[in-house]
Amino acid sequence: MPKVPARIRKAVFPVAGLGTRFLPATKAMPKEMLTVVDRPVIQHVVDEARAAGIEHFVFVTGRNKGVIEDHFDRQFELERTLAERGKSKELASLQQDLPSAGQTSFTRQQSAQGLGHAVWCARDIVGNEPFALLLPDMLHFSSQPCLSKMMKAYEEVGGNLIAVSPVPEDQTQNYGIVGVDDLEKDVSEITTMVEKPKPADAPSNLHITGRYILQPEIFELLEKQKPGAGNEIQLTDAMLGLLERRDQKFHAVRFEGELYDCGSKLGFLMANVAYGLTRDDLGEPFRAELGRMLSRGA
């Protein structure tokens, strides 16, 4: 009988980056708390994880990120005021968004040494089980949430999974890129990966979009990982080390949808437009106003 892969219960959210591309907004405010319409970016990503069945949310934070912890806690004064004012819809929505007591963990990265280092900081909380990893500034906008699609693929193939999407061939140097056994397949086996390769050195144009399912052995590699591109401890380098051990499979899962990098100003603006246009309560008037704005040229 085929071995059933261990269930994914925990998700890690690295939120300790400095957000230098979004200064000055991120000087005192974490970029993960910037709002796309009326929800912080991090809430959109936690929603995606919850929809995929995640039960425990692990945040790797840093200095100035305390507000993220507050966001996922109760706010008694606010709740009482909403109740007194009869704002039951707003109250219900706040309560619905809140993880249950004990479903969140927070740990500190202490210094921003790179994504790989941030993931390693979650090792004790994750323990010896496979886990999901979601980069909070990458919004995956799609009718089928990205992590849910990956969970389905995981039930079939197990091992490690990475969500990917094509980029223009002259832009590979901005991304982590994977090589796969079959470019046509929705779920394909990964043969290699490299962080920010020049177009001539890139094994394909499939870039890592920021959603992963990883086996706990990744922590052993991260522990010993030397700094790579940008002098940061790179997750891609550690994943390549695990791939090269050849005792675990890595699969690429194609993400079908729009990606918005909310760590960049343009991506953030585009995300607000995309999410705003699909809102039942705002979509129509927003579209009309945008149309008017564009027709008068500003």
CB 56, CB 11: distance < 8 Å: yes
* Residue among 120, 116, 145 nearest 253 (CA): 145
Minimal distance, residue 72 CB to ligand UTP, in Å = 16
Q: Which is nearer to ligand UTP, 146 or 187 (CB)?
A: 146
Q: Which is nearer to ligand UTP, 188 or 209 (CB)?
A: 209
Minimal distance, residue 294 CB to ligand UTP, in Å = 29
Can you tell me whether residue 140 is helix, strand or coil? strand
Q: For residues 87-110, b (16+ Cβ closer than 10 Å) or e, as one string?
A: eeeebeeeeeeebeeeebbbbebe
List the structure tokens of 85: 């004012």
The single-letter code of the amino acid at 59 is: F
Minimal distance, residue 292 CB to ligand UTP, in Å = 33
Residue found by looking up tokens 């261990």 in the block: 6
Q: Which is nearer to ligand UTP, 22 or 175 (CB)?
A: 22
Q: Which is nearer to ligand UTP, 158 or 232 (CB)?
A: 232
Q: Which is nearer to ligand UTP, 115 or 190 (CB)?
A: 115
Residue 135 CB contacts under 8 Å (≥ 6 apart), including other chains: 14, 115, 210, 211
CB 254, CB 211: distance < 8 Å: no
Minimal distance, residue 229 CB to ligand UTP, in Å = 11
Which residues would be at the binding site for ligand UTP (CB under 6 A)?
14-22, 60, 109, 112-115, 117-118, 135-137, 263
Q: Which is nearer to ligand UTP, 114 or 130 (CB)?
A: 114
Which residue in the shown chain puts its C-beta closest to ligand UTP?
17
Minimal distance, residue 279 CB to ligand UTP, in Å = 24
Give alpha helix (H) positions in 102-145: 115-120, 123-126
* Residue among 44, 265, 264 nearest 139 (CA): 44
Residue 166 CB contacts under 8 Å (≥ 6 apart), including other chains: 205, 206, 207
Q: Which is nearer to ligand UTP, 10 or 82 (CB)?
A: 10
Q: Which is nearer to ligand UTP, 34 or 150 (CB)?
A: 34
Residue 268 CB contacts under 8 Å (≥ 6 apart), including other chains: 22, 34, 36, 260, 261, 262
Minimal distance, residue 208 CB to ligand UTP, in Å = 11
Minimal distance, residue 287 CB to ligand UTP, in Å = 30
- Beta strand pairing call for 131-134 and 206-214: antiparallel
Minimal distance, residue 116 CB to ligand UTP, in Å = 8
Please report how many Cα atoms fall inside a 13 Å half-sphere around the Cα of residue 61, on the Cβ side: 20
